[in-house]
Structure 1
Amino acid sequence: MDSRKIQTVGGGTYTVSLPKEWAKSEGCTAGTTVDLHTHIDGLLVIQTPESRTAPRNRVTLAVGDDDPAEIEQLLRAAYAAGVESVVLEAPDGYTDEQHRAIERVTRNLTGVTIAEETGSQVTVQTLLDVGEVSVRQSVRQLQFVALSMHRDAMAALTAGTTGDRWDDRDDQADRLYAMTDRYFERGLARLDEIDALGLTRPELFSLWVTANELERVADHAERIGTVADRLDGQPDEGTATALEDIAQDVHTAVEDAVRVITGDACVATARQTLATRRALRERITSLDRRLFESGDADYRLTRALDSLARTAEHGGNIAEFGLRMAVRDGALADSSAGTDDANASGSAAETES
């Protein structure tokens, strides 16, 4: 890093000299016109005409006789990479299975459609307008979807209820995460994307990793639902009550942790969530031991209990990063006077799923 002092010239204009090595490498001389870009997170970027390159918004992929699963994977990768238009070329035409794979992607990813189609070429386009996207609201919606799945799966496990199934909602959770992932990727490559989203880079990162954690919460809810479908009847009353109590606290822990990240709760809530996770670890271990020692409990209940434990860990991971962001931003020192109406920002961490 090279530090330069700001100076003034006639009329009070502020000036700062450019590093000579950079100017030479970019072909800048006296009289060269450069573009100045100011960004939401305080950056000032200097761009020369020669460095203005069009974003890679259109790619052409030859698919030939590729397996339909590979075609689907390619399209999902292009979506995550932020590409706006993908042209799939198959000189000998598409099989029915390949075409169904393409249609499946357009159904399961937000804003994606088949824009043009011929016998040997299909153009898949993403129509999302970044100015109309709210990553923060998408994370809130993902939280709602994941926790509604968690609630209904636990009801099916402990009481045998048969409400709305969670399969469709798991697809919805995947769509919300994929969209967040896409704009995180685009934000890494393009500062103007960050500005359009109205987020700083740390804020976007925190929301992206929170979405990652929530997508795993949805996966574990689906796993609990699968266990519920396979049980021979419901657990005994004592076990069912213990599971319900744990599930409710897990639900609250995840919900509160996300509220810290989205700015709807203060850092004190993150600290309380971490305390709740510690208590949940002990309660889950105790129940797991009791199920093992009982001898007559359905062994599949331990799988549901394991998913509850992992869901609690995902909530704790989100809270940990809320705490980390508070330390970085200096909010931790004021947390004792904070309320749930105070603003907080943070990010979530990776954990095993």
Structure 2
Amino acid sequence: MGELSLRRLQRVGKATYSISLPKGWVRKRGLRPGDILEVYEESDGSLRIRSRIDKLAESSYLIDAELCRVYGQISKLITACYHRGCERVEVRAAGGLNDEVVKEISEAASRLPGFEIIERTNKSIVLQNFIDPSKFSVRGLIRRLQTMISTMFGNISDFLFSMSYEDIKSIRDLREKIRQLHALMVRLLITYLEHRGLGRAIGLKNSTDAYCMIMFSDHMLRIAEHLYDIGEEFLRFRKRLWRNKEMLSLLKELIGLTSMIFEDSINAFINTDPQHTMKILNQISNIVDHQLSGGELLKVHDLGRTCFIEKILCSLRGIMLECERIVEEIFDRFIENGGPVCMLKETYRSV
């Protein structure tokens, strides 16, 4: 908690008001008369003042590879730095980087959009960000995630009709692209929380909006993982799928139903429609309790087929649960944005 100081509001001219800034704060940042400051209004009505020095300071992290004794730890740290909005990461080892560490760093960089290796020696590797966050729209990224997951649904449905394994194999590539897009979206949203002036460029209004978007991105990633699991199960079960026409027909119906709920959930989230949200929540509850309970599909005496069906139903229920969470977060956005249905009643009291 910073030190509290009181300032008297001054009137300058006919339509402008001003307050003086703490001298220590000004000197610490090397500011001079005429320098430009950025002023943001927070959702609670308070103001945040940021100097250009604060804005342009680039975060940089140094990772000591010799202290990371478990494989995978370095890649996790690099990813965390990326999410945090870090512009530069150096991985260093006084005794030299072995081939395993170099491979781990390279693989981590390949999964992070805009993060590239710019310098490499025997003892260190430097990664640099080349992405400008102001060039991205959050709404555009949401639509891109929606399109890729819709394609995954489409590939699974096509496989059930065409029996072409290429439709299923392409899901693996889509899953990797969604992982990369998720990492980019998390980075963008955390950067916004550090630099609120970015909000207008990327289409965010407040911190609640940013929080909901981060959660949304997580839900989309998990939906993609469930679809990937379904695809892998289909590949393992292979031609046995088409021996039972009734089971195949029910699977087509359930995939189509889940895809429809997914599309409705995303559109409701984007449009912030609480009335439509309640209809979707009721649909999800009904589908999970009845169609995805497995009653008809599990009426088989083949143990292998029973295990296969249970795994597919588990993944479909998982997708429904993520859709449910997505639409529930609509209410958080709705309340924050305000409206005639639920308006913020502000009351002020003297301190």
SS at match of 1:109: coil
Match of residue 59 from structure 1: 61
Corresponding residue to 2:288 among 277, 281, 288: 281
Change (3 A) 1:99 1:81: same
User: How many angstroms does 1:222 deviate by?
Assistant: 0.7
Q: Specify the alignment match of 1:213 in structure 2.
A: 219
* Residue matched to 1:37: 38
- Matched with 1:197 is 202
- Which amino acid letter does the alignment assign opposite residue 283 of structure 1? H
Aligned-partner Cα distance in 1 for 2:136–2:174: 20
- Aligned counterpart for 2:327 among listed residues 319, 326, 337: 319
Q: Which residue of 2 aligns with 1:244?
A: 252
Say if 2:137 and 2:201, in contact at 8 Å, map to a contact too: no
Provide Cα deviations, 1:185-220, integer angstroms capped at 9, x if missing partner: 222222233344242123333222211111000000
Deviations 1:278-315 (A, max 9, x none): 221133344x1233343334321111111111101211
- Show structure 1 runs of 5+ residues with no match: 335-353
Partner letter of residue 81 of structure 2?
A: A
Alpha-carbon shift at residue 177 of structure 1 (Å): 0.5
- Contact kept in structure 2, 1:60 and 1:87, CA below 8 Å: yes
Aligned to 1:103: 106
User: For the structure 1 residues 239 and 333, does the alpha-carbon distance in structure 2 shift closer, same or farther, using more than 3 Å as the test?
Assistant: farther
Alpha carbons 1:158, 1:243 under 8 Å: kept: no
Q: In structure 2, which of residues 236, 252, 265 is the aligned counterpart of residue 230 of structure 1?
A: 236
CA shift, 1:56, in A, is 4.9
Structure 1 residue aligned with 2:121: 118
Structure 2 CA distance for aligned equivalents of residues 331 and 88 of structure 1:
49
Matching residue of 2:264: 256
Q: Which whole-Å CA distance do the structure 2 matches of 1:203 and 1:76 have between them?
A: 23
C-alpha distance 40-148 of structure 1, shift in aligned 2 (>3 A): farther
Higher relative contact order (CA 8 A, sep 6+): 1
Q: Does the 8 Å CA contact 2:65/2:74 hold for their aligned counterparts?
A: yes
Q: Which amino acid aligns with 1:37?
A: E
The CA distance in 2 between the partners of 1:146 and 1:245, in whole Å, is 18
- Give, in whole Å, the separation in 2 of the partners of 1:208 and 1:93: 37
- Supply the distance in 2 between the matched residues of 1:91 and 1:128 (Cα, whole angstroms): 30
Is 1:295 matched with 2:298? no
The Cα of 1:104 is off from its aligned counterpart by 1.1
The residue that corresponds to 1:167 in the other structure is 172
Counterpart Cα distance in 2 of 1:189 and 1:328: 20
What TM-score comes out, normalization by structure 1 length? 0.79
Q: 2:89–2:128: 8 Å Cα contact kept in structure 1?
A: yes
The 2-side partners of 1:274 and 1:6 are apart by 51
How many residue pairs get matched? 324
3-state SS of 2:125 partner: strand
Residue aligned with 1:292, SS: coil
Q: Which amino acid aligns with 1:145?
A: M
User: What are the superposed Cα offsets for residues 21-66 of structure 1, whole Å, 9 maximum, x if unpaired?
Assistant: x9588589xxx969642348676423579x9486452122211374
Structure 2 regions of 5+ residues with no counterpart? 343-351
Percent identical pairs in the alignment equals: 19
8 Å CA contact retained: 1:253, 1:273: yes
Give me the whole-angstrom Cα distance separating, in 2, the residues matched to 1:86 and 1:122: 8
Secondary structure in structure 2 of the residue aligned to 1:122: strand
Matched, 1:127 2:134: no
Bigger Cα displacement from structure 2, 34-43 vs 315-324? 34-43
Q: SS at the partner of 2:119?
A: strand
Q: Which moved more, 1:143-152 or 1:63-72?
A: 63-72
